[in-house]
Every structure is written in C-alpha cells, then in structure tokens.
Amino acid sequence: MRLALAFAALLLAGCLEGPRAQPDVDLKLPPVETPTLPSIPTLPTGSTPTPTPAPAPTPAAGLRNGGFENGTEGWTLEAGEGSHASVDCESASAGACSLRLGHAGRGVSARQDVPAGNARAAFLSYKTRDPAQLHRGSTWFSVTLYALDAQGAIIEDGRMVWDESEGYDEFRTDSIGSQVPAGAATVRVLFAAGPSVEGAEATGDAATWVDDVVLTLSPFPGPSFRNGGFEAGRGDVPEDWGFGTGVSRDCALAHGGLCSLRINGATTGAGFAPENDTIRIALWVRGGAADEPLVINATFFRESSALGYLTGTAAAPGETWTRVVLPPGAVPEGTQKVSLHITAALDAPWWIDDVDVAWGS
C-alpha cells in the first residue's frame, strides 16, 4: 500500500518527467484503472540474482593538466568575439588555478583529445563554478564526450550535459559517461559555453570556471540502456530518468563507472523504443530492506494504450551489488514504446546501476 501511495504521489507530482533532455519517448504510465487491457499472457514474476564481480574502471593516464596548474598545456581553447578562455589562478577548486570560460560574447570552448587505447566506455568527472547567476535564460554551458576515429572523424557523439541553470558560487562536482565504440582512436573532452540566442551576447560578466577534470577509461562497455549507468547528469539530477523526491543520482556509490541512482520511497523511470520482439532487462541493485522488494515494471505501449507488462521483483541484497535479470518476455505486436519503471519502498534506500536491455529476434 505504501508503495502504491508513493507511486501515485509521484504520478500526481509529475515527478516522472525528466527536468530536461527528455527520454526518447514519454514516460506515460498506464491509467491507474486500466479498463480494457488486451489479453496478454501474464509474464512470469521473479528475479534471478546472479552475483558477479563488478568490473573496475582503470584510471586514464591520458588526460593532461586536468587541474590547469600547467596553464593551458594539453588543452585547445577557442573563443568567439567578445568571449575569452583562459587559465585563472585566482579561483580554483584544488591547487592554484582553474579554467575560466568567459562567455559574455559569442561561444567559447576548451577541448582535449586523449588516446582511447582499449577503452569501451569513458567516464568524466569535473568541477564547475558559475557565480555570476546569469545563466538562467541567457547563456548555456555544456560538457560532451566524443569518440573519434584515427582520421579524427566523430564516430560517437557521446553524451552531453547541457546546463542553463542558475549560478552557484562554490565549485561542485558533476560527471558524464559515454560508450567508446570499437575503432575509436581518441576520446575528446569538450567544455563549451555561449549565449542562449544565436548571435546574441550575454549581459555582464558571464563566465563558468572548470577544474579537476578527471577522465577514466574502462575496457568494459557501459550498459546498453540510455544512461543506464547514470553517468550523465548534473549533480544529483540524472539525464533521461524520472527525477524527484526520493530519487537522486549518487556519485559516491556505483557498480560501474562513477555514479548510480538512489531510490527511496519513490519510482523512477525512463522510456525507450523497442528494437525487436523479445526483450530482457537486467540491472544491478544494492540496499533495500528485507521485507520490501524492489519492483521493476516495463509497460508496452501503442500510443497511450498499454499492450502488456513485464514485471519482476528483486529481494534486497543489502550491501552487495547484485545483478537482477528479469525473465525474457515477448514484446507485444504493435508496441511503439516501452516505459521502464522501478519502484522502491520507503523503509531503506536502494541503489540501481548499469541498467541493460537485450533484444532477441
């Protein structure tokens, strides 16, 4: 009952809609009282915890001068008219210096290319400070990870974090993650900022400081589900996933990469388009209370009609990351989108990470 109430409260609060960077499909949930669901065979309910060791990311030695203590060494800076990129040794999160992207004029950027080696996933953490409080509606700041081939062509446009939020005077840590496809020679880290309206100039001294840039390359591919590793986000707000009271990104605890998602007495969700007619959902979980399973529900939609469900529960594993695999299920014919919803009770927080979707034929 408590679960149902929390679920309903979230629905009412509209918390399942992401703040920005909307998922591929809307997080439309089935009506609470589903009047005429087609007779879809009930899929088995249950979970198959299969503990396996978590792959450990390897630190990347490739990114140089991530703290900007050696001036601009390693970084390529570009600035449009009226903007200015420079190393500032009067403001720093650690050490003496940071990078200042002054974007009162046109766009400004700083980038660095790092050898990809055998990496299949890249994770970037960094700190930013933006004390001018001018960002709302007038300027933007973005962080992007690209993968490039040996000729320098972009083969993976990676993940971008886009920020038009209000200012903040203290350096804060954010992170982003991306796949690195086979054939990638280089991973590009790009920080950029500019005015929100093309050709316009921001008023005043709009600037964002960047410091403590750390790139981690992993030889293991990230999860196939969009931001299923929760590496993309700003602070505790994940990209693509429903966010609100009881749901927050946690970059102090992760199964893979740097971050996971913490759920407590709430539901989170994400939508995606089906790629085949059989689906298997797997994810890593941690935490919870013994008598309150985690509920994982995938709903298959044609427009706003629910065609069927795939449901599983996970027993609380406590302090050990545990892999939960839902029974494979058939994607009902005519499905246009799938909404994945994960619900945790209030008694103890759960962490989820590396949400993976595999498709059959």
- Binding site residues, Ca ion, CB under 5 A: 229, 254, 256-257, 353
Name, in order, each residue with C-beta under 8 angstroms of 157's C-beta and a sequence gap of 6 or more.
144, 146
Proportion of the chain in helix, strand, coil states, percent, rounded to 5: 5, 45, 50
Give the residue with the Cβ less far from Ca ion, 257 or 312.
Answer: 257
Angle at 283 (CA atoms; ends 279, 286), nearest 5 degrees: 155
Give the residue with the Cβ less far from Ca ion, 158 or 274.
Answer: 158
Compute the least distance from the CB of residue 60 to Ca ion, in Å.
Answer: 16
Compute the least distance from the CB of residue 108 to Ca ion, in Å.
Answer: 30
Compute the least distance from the CB of residue 257 to Ca ion, in Å.
Answer: 4
Compute the least distance from the CB of residue 23 to Ca ion, in Å.
Answer: 18
Name, in order, each residue with C-beta under 8 angstroms of 69's C-beta and a sequence gap of 6 or more.
95, 96, 97
CA–CA dist 34, 309 (Å, integer): 12
Give the residue with the Cβ less far from Ca ion, 218 or 297.
Answer: 218
Residue type, 113: D
Compute the least distance from the CB of residue 241 to Ca ion, in Å.
Answer: 12
Instruction: Tokens for 168, please give them.
Output: 């903040």
Give the residue with the Cβ less far from Ca ion, 43 or 54.
Answer: 54
Compute the least distance from the CB of residue 188 to Ca ion, in Å.
Answer: 21
Whether 267 and 343 have beta carbons less than 8 Å apart is answered as yes
Helix (H, G, I), strand (E, B) or coil at 338: strand
Give the residue with the Cβ less far from Ca ion, 67 or 229.
Answer: 229
Residue type, 49: P
CA–CA dist 345, 353 (Å, integer): 17
Give the residue with the Cβ less far from Ca ion, 272 or 321.
Answer: 321
Tell me which residue has tokens 């690195």.
Answer: 180
